[in-house]
Structure formats: structure tokens, C-alpha cells
Amino acid sequence: MAAQHDMVSKFGAAAIVVMLMLVVPNSGSGEDAGHDKDQLAPMSSEAEFGFSLPIVHGRPPAPGMDDEKFVTPFRIYEDVVYLAEMEIGERQQKQYLLIDTGSSLVWTQCDECPHCHIGDVPPYGRSQSRTFQEVSCGDDDDNDKEEAIASYCPAKPPGYITLCVNGRCMFKALYNLTGQGETVQGYMSMDTFHFIDDRRFDYQAKFRMVFGCAHQENIVLTAVKECTGILGLGMGDASFLRQTGITKFSYCVPPRMPGYSYRRHSWLRFGSHAQISGKKVPLVMRWGKYYLPLTAITYTYNELMSPVPIIAYKSQEDYLHMMVDTGTSLLSLPTSLHDDLIKEMEAIIKSENIMEGATRWPKHCYKRTMDEVKDITVTLSFDGGLDIELFTSALFIKTETTKGPAVCLAVNRVDDSSKAILGMFAQTNINVGYDLLSREIAMDPIRCA
């Protein structure tokens, strides 16, 4: 997960909600994830044959973003999150979880949650499922199943903490979406998750899975009316991938398309269905997350202009490791790189920054149209020879102000000089494939819709 204001950094920056039809699996290994010990559980038969889930694009109401410091209130029209639709429990209750490679915990809102933001989708009703089971912890090892699921109450997995309270495994997940420290807490539980084949109207697979049953949350993500939680696709303990033993997955997402809703033209693929195509480069896995070593950033304005280097690292020791994060929308860069890039872009845009003085994203907005900035391109170069070109839809977000149309830079600044994030805007129209056993990621620029 990435730090950022509203849903624009960690959970999107536009008004398009993207939902995936999916469901979750069977309890697997309880090995300690470790920082650099991302071991995989044996793959189940369901994961081995593979399955594909349609990405469904919806469009929720766009929130106004006003601040007393600004004389130009405006509205963001393109807040994007990607949700996975699943059915949980005996009565197959639908839940929608954010697809997030930047975290590992799987959790959803549960009933008896007086401090949860409840949207259009009711919380998971554990009392309605006879297959529901809380994860126990402590000294009671009489039952093999209890002993197995108690392993999902580790000391400190990446991204969240767990405590054994009166024999119940309590979790507390920590996020930093607005810079104020948001939390989700509840009890680790277990139930059956179902993956639906939307084309055949039956199940592709079903598994029992350990997940967080949230009883209290204070997180901006659930303001999205369909969203009930997070599907962690990282490699920490109790993640979706570690429990299923899936070693390959891929996704391909089209650019934001304001005005369209419930489109189903792209896919999240697992196991043998995963599409691993295009340029393959080394994938660095740390703390249960995925990183690409960044070697250079260049900037161009048009075809006649020579590329302008923003940064070029000379040795592997200097490479900046950029996290690949589907739960984040924006490209996030350390302060020095961010400021150098903004300086070059503003020299071309030649327009007053109407958000001057803003303390949170968006900090750089200009009275320009998307057509007026269409020739600006930023190229990210990674170890192994991978280049990702960022065009208009990845670099700018269309807004509307009281003085007319404007564009905001979809680039966020982070204070940590060693931190950078490749959000989903930069991954659109690219088939992104993960091969975890080979520790490789493949990126293939294609038309995703």
C-alpha cells in the first residue's frame, strides 16, 4: 500500500470503480514470510489448472475536493479502484475487495461492525454461514485443524499485526492513505470462498481460506460504495497467493474511460491461465512486496525533441527500487526526482499552478486540456532492459474548476528518498505477468480492451 491523500494514491485517483469477479481459496502453509524468504505453499489442483476473472469497470459518484486554502475548488472525475467480486460462505454472500499487490492481508467487513462505513454491499454475515470458523490461538493444540489455522496468527507479518486475545486471533491492519494513519481491525477467520466463471455462470474453483473479519475500520477506501475490503496479492503470511500456492498471475487494464460503466474487456488471470508475455525482467521481492530496479527516467515533449534525462543511475547499488502496486493509482517519486520532473513539465505546460500551496495531492493542476498536454511523455527504464512509456492518460487527470477545464499531474511526491511506487495509471494498456517461482515480471504493451 502506498501513502497518499484520499483515494488517489493508494486506492485510486479517479471516478471509475473496477470490479473483478473472483473468490478465494483453501488454507495453506503457515510459514513465516520473512523479508526475503517468500516461500510458496504447494499449489492446489484448482490453482494448477488456472482460472480467469473479468475486470468490471464501474463509475461511482466523483467526490468534490475543496480546500479553504484554494480559491479554485474543483472536482476530480477519474478516481479508479479495482475490485474483486467474490462469494463467501455457505450462502455465498457477495463481497467486493480491492485488488492490491502492495499488501498481503485479505480482509472484508463483517456483520456486527458498528464502526464501519457501510456502502451498497452488506457486510459478510458470519452468522449466516455454518462453514464460518474463527481462527483460534494459544495453547490448545488438541485439534489438528486448530493447530493449522493458528499458524495464521503470526507475531508480526508485513503490513499488519496480530494478537492472541482470549484464545482469539485479533488483527490490526495499518494503512496510510491520507497521511493520518488509518486502521482496520477484527478477528482472523476462515470460510469457503468461491470463484465464479462469469461466462458459464458456475464456479471455476472454491477453497477454504483464512481472512480478516473486520469489526472496526477507519479507512477512506470503503467510501467507495461497492468496496468492502482488500484482497492482498502480496507474498506475506496469509496472503491470497500463499494460501492457494498460485505461482503465476497476470492482469491487463485499459486506460480510464469516463462515462463508461460496467465494462468487461480485461482479465485477472491465475495459474495456467496467466499470460506471461513481453519483456521479462528480474522481480525483486522484499517484505512480501514486488519491486523493479529503476535505472533511469527521461522526459520528452514531442518527436522532434531529444529525451531529457531526469535521472540516470550509474551502478546497481544506486538503483531505486520501485514497488509495483495495483492498489495505488499514482506514480510516486522521491522529492528530488519528483521536483525535477515537475520543473521540466511546467516549462512546457506554461500555465499557473492553480493548486499552489496545497499540502496534499493534487498539488499541481493547470488550466489546460488533455489535448494540450498530449505530447508529453515520460519513460521509466528498469534493470533488464524494460522501458515503460507514460503517455497522457498515465500522467494527467482531467478535472473541472469554477474557471473551466483543467488537468492535474498524476504524480505524487514522497519524502522517503528510497521509496517509489508504480501505480495503476502507469500500468494501463500493459499486460503485466508475474512468475513468482522464476522471480520475473513480464510487461507487454498491448491494447487491454
What cell numbers appear for 217 in the block? 475500520
pLDDT, greater one: 204 or 247: 247
Q: Where in the sequence of the chain do the CATH 2.40.70.10 domains occur?
A: 6-273, 279-445
Question: In this structure, what is the dihedral angle of CA atoms 411, 384, 159, 96, given to the nearest 10 degrees?
Answer: 70
List pLDDT tens digits, range 305-326.
778 889 888 788 889 999 999 8
pLDDT, greater one: 220 or 112: 112
- What integer is the mean pLDDT of 83-97? 84
The CATH number of 6-273, from 3.40.640.10, 2.40.70.10, 3.20.130.10, 3.40.50.620, is: 2.40.70.10
List pLDDT tens digits, range 34-81.
333 333 333 344 445 677 766 655 444 443 333 333 333 333 444 567
List pLDDT tens digits, range 123-175.
888 888 999 998 888 754 444 433 434 344 443 344 667 778 888 888 888 87
Task: Check: pTM over 0.85? Answer yes or no.
Answer: no
List pLDDT tens digits, range 369-379.
999 999 999 99
Q: What is the pLDDT of residue 61?
A: 42
CATH superfamily of 279-445: Acid Proteases (2.40.70.10)
